Chain A
Amino acid sequence: MEEELISKKDLLELTGISYGQLYRWKRKNLLPEEWFIRKSAFTGQETFFPKQRILDRIDKILHMKDDLSLDELADMFSPASQAISIPMKELIERNIVSTNAAKAAETYIGKSELYTFEQTLCVYILDYCLQTGEISLEEGRTMLPTFLEYYKKFKEQQCDLILLRKMGVSVFLLVPAGGEIHFESGVKIILRVDVPGMIEQLKLKLIAI
């Protein structure tokens, strides 16, 4: 997965932000350290960024910085789970998850009134997978316990959720984000869900009341 890179110079020109702002956002952890790729160029050392991801992020920051403080924004972009609990009813009413997904999840998570952020994330991802139409509800049911049990083990490290299928048998995997994996022939990657991306989306939806 070679990503297109953008130099710092071009990025500032394109987005119209200043060096000061960029450094400030980095200090506030709005931009992760891994995105700062230092390379030597003919003008000396230059910093590059993954183009699509940084442009998306800056766009979001610029749009939301009037409503939220930088610390609140940092909290939103961080892959750490928030310490919140949400009633499932509200999630369905606000169209964050579908009724189907919520029903399927109920058996595994339990019929509690309030969902923690992690549980909500789990339902949200299930919902997303179902919406893509790539997995059946049955498969979704096997995914839930896997995700719930092993997601925590990644802690700060981010992970991807992968669905494989070979000869009609489906397998779910959790792997470190962006990691490369190779399979024997006949194995098909049906879905690869970017979990940190989902966390960001979910946090965004939860904030927008």
Chain B
Amino acid sequence: MGDKRNLIITGIGKSNGGDVHLAKIEGVGTIEGDVSCSEFKVDGKGELQGSLKAATAAINGIFNIRGNLQADQFSIDGKMTVDGFITGEHIRMNGMVTVKGGCETEKFDANGRMNIEMLNAGQIKLILQGSSSINEIGGEEIEIRRQPGSILAKWLKSVPGPFGNKLNAGVIEGDTIYLEHTTADIVRGGEVKIGPGCTIGNIEYKQSLDVHSSSKIIKHVKR
């Protein structure tokens, strides 16, 4: 690693990418190719037109990536759009994230508004702020909660419209599942616990099912 160079954009700049040790954007930067590095950092606004492969990546600000993103440790605070897939070991997201492909990781910790096509993770912890939509969720432990005690959220809820903290999902499948304020077509799992504010079309469960009184379940089957 010692002989690899760094790619640093400070201020406003452009680069072609490449195989480097540290890649860093401070300010506004565009990288027009693929980047492979051990550490990737954005503070400000970044755009990557290729794919990223990194051991660790941390984004603070706005980041758009056209290709795929692969990072063992990944964290974002801000807003991000990924056109391809995200793969990693531990992914932490805080803010507004759109992933057009899928997301595969061992640990997924998110807080905010997530728009993801497919999420596959061992441990999923999602705290909803705003309206999220994930088409397919699969994993071992899935926990989806609403951000508690936010005054702003309560105030927003009194206004009709697309506000409120909620999740729209197609299929949710996992071993242990806990959901709050989620609308889903199908939930399948071992131990399923449905918290407040859910609307679920069909639940299939193996061991147990527990439903909060404010949630609507159209059909449920024990298998």
Interface residues of A (CB under 8 A from B): 8-9, 13, 18-20, 22-24, 26-27, 43-45
Contacts and interface: CB of A to CB of B under 8 A. Distances in A.
Nearest to A29: B104
Nearest to B189: A19
A8 B170 CA distance: 16
Given A18-B175, A20-B140, A43-B202, A13 B223 contact: yes
Contacts of B121: 23, 27
A151 B67 CA distance: 29
A27 B190 CA distance: 20
A9 B204 CA distance: 10
Given A23-B139, A23-B140, 6 more contacts: A13-B223, A18-B190, A20-B174, A22-B138, A26-B104, A43-B186
A44 B175 contact: no
Contacts of A19: 138-140, 173-175, 188-190
B190 to A, nearest CB: 6
B120 A20 contact: no
A39 to B, nearest CB: 12
Interface string B130-174: 000000101111000000000000000000000000000011011
Contacts of A20: 122, 139-141, 174-175, 190
Contact of A44 (B120, B170, B174): B170
Given A23-B120, A23-B139, A23-B140, A45 B175 contact: no
Interface of B: 104-106, 120-122, 136, 138-141, 170-171, 173-175, 185-186, 188-190, 201-202, 204, 223
A9 B171 CA distance: 13
A161 B171 CA distance: 39
Contacts of B189: 19
B122 A24 contact: yes
Given A18-B190, A19-B138, A19-B190, A44 B173 contact: no
B127 to A, nearest CB: 21
A86 to B, nearest CB: 31
A23 B202 contact: no
Given A18-B190, A19-B188, A44 B202 contact: yes
A145 to B, nearest CB: 36
Nearest to A18: B175
Given A13-B223, A43-B186, A44-B185, A23 B201 contact: no
25 contacts: A13-B223, A18-B175, A19-B139, A19-B173, A19-B175, A19-B188, A19-B190, A20-B139, A20-B140, A20-B190, A23-B120, A23-B121, A23-B122, A23-B138, A23-B140, A23-B173, A24-B122, A26-B120, A26-B138, A43-B186, A44-B171, A44-B186, A44-B201, A45-B136, A45-B171
